[in-house]
Chain A
Amino acid sequence: SYGVTQPPSISVAPGETATMTCAGNNIGAKNVHWYQQKSGRAPVLAIFYDTDRPSGIPERFSGSNSGNTATLTISRVEAGDEAEYYCQVWDSSSGHVIFGGGTNLTVL
């Protein structure tokens, strides 16, 4: 069945840009959604349909998706962005929702 891979962790200094990837076979043909999960809390939708931001998510959050990689980018990173970030797709061939393993963002 379809799988997506995320790097386990990244570290970024405040004010810098955090780039998190989600790799999958021809993932560019799928819709990718991203969730932010802070410690002890339920996940929150951060980006949907590759590039769209729900209301309440800062403009510093953006997404892209092409080829075999989808990307979540957080510009001007703040301490409050520290969280686990999960990508998610729908695999219609298997009828399964697929999550990546998550990337832990540490703000130095």
Chain B
Amino acid sequence: QVQLVESGGGVVQPGKSLTISCEASGFKFTTYGMHWVRQAPGGGLEWVALISHDGRNVLYADSVKGRFTISTDNSRNRLYLQMNSLRAEDTAVYYCVRDRGTYQMLYYFGEWGQGTLVRVSS
């Protein structure tokens, strides 16, 4: 079955960097686009970034553009989110999410990971 397992969350100081990752299994990773979606404590869902199945199309929310980078390592079936210049408002659970489309983005979400908590605090 499809599994998405995030890791790498933790406490990080404002202005510092952190990279979180997601290990995918149970499906052919190279045929699906992937997203990161975050949820601040007690808050709603916020889309963060997407990457197409072939890595050619990458998009970011305005709130993270220029600071965050989404990428994949197809040899390891992994999705990454490199987060630079972190701010207190980046504190959230970060979910790794699979797009519902195969070989094309459909821009809605099927399977979700369990999330990894990133807390930005001094």
Q: A residues near B, CB below 8 A?
A: 1, 31, 33, 35, 37, 42-45, 48, 84, 86, 88, 90, 95-102
A98 touches B45 (CB 8 A): no
Distance, CA A1 to CA B45, complexed state (A): 17
New A-B contacts (19) at CB < 8 Å, excluding given A42-B113, A42-B115, A90-B108: A1-B62, A33-B108, A43-B45, A43-B109, A45-B108, A45-B109, A84-B44, A86-B44, A86-B45, A88-B109, A95-B59, A96-B47, A97-B47, A97-B50, A98-B47, A99-B44, A99-B45, A101-B44, A102-B44
Which residue numbers of B lie inside 8 Å of A, CB to CB? 35, 37, 44-47, 50, 59, 61-62, 95, 100, 107-110, 112-115
A98-B37 Cα distance, complex, nearest whole Å: 11
* A-B pairs with beta carbons under 8 Å apart, 19 shown: A37-B45, A42-B112, A42-B113, A43-B95, A43-B109, A43-B112, A45-B108, A45-B109, A45-B110, A86-B44, A88-B109, A90-B108, A95-B59, A97-B50, A97-B108, A99-B44, A99-B47, A101-B44, A102-B44
Query: How far does the alpha carbon of A31 sit from the alpha carbon of B37 in the complex, in Å?
Result: 19
